[in-house]
Amino acid sequence: MKNKQLGYRFSRQVPIDEYIVDFYCKDLFLAIEVDGITHTYEDQPKRDAIRQKRLEGLGICILRFDDFDVKNKIKWVVNEILRNIETHPQPLLGRE
């Protein structure tokens, strides 16, 4: 995913609180997580839910995508991200 496609800067592997998100746009308070097969093992879904709730409590919107979709349906993934950006207003934090 290139920054030009979305019109916003996304950084990779960004630490937030006690977690690291896969991609993060600080201007939008938007994190994108790419979940592989390991996210289905044992208690990982429960840990992901706790993690997501904590990050959302900090005002961050989380979008999750399966790594299969990122690898095989990238246009759909980009369109879903753009749709989210268009339907959710930017946070007021940091604005004058």
CA distance 25 to 82: 13
If one counts every other C-beta atom within 10 angstroms of the C-beta of residue 79, the result is 12
pTM > 0.85: no
Q: Looking at the predicted structure, is the pLDDT value of residue 96 above 50?
A: no
Domains of the chain: 3-87 (3.40.960.10)
User: How confident is the prediction for the chain on average, in pLDDT?
Assistant: 85
Q: Which two tokens stand for residue 3?
A: 């920054």
Does pLDDT of 80 surpass 80?
Answer: yes
What are the tokens at 84? 């989210």
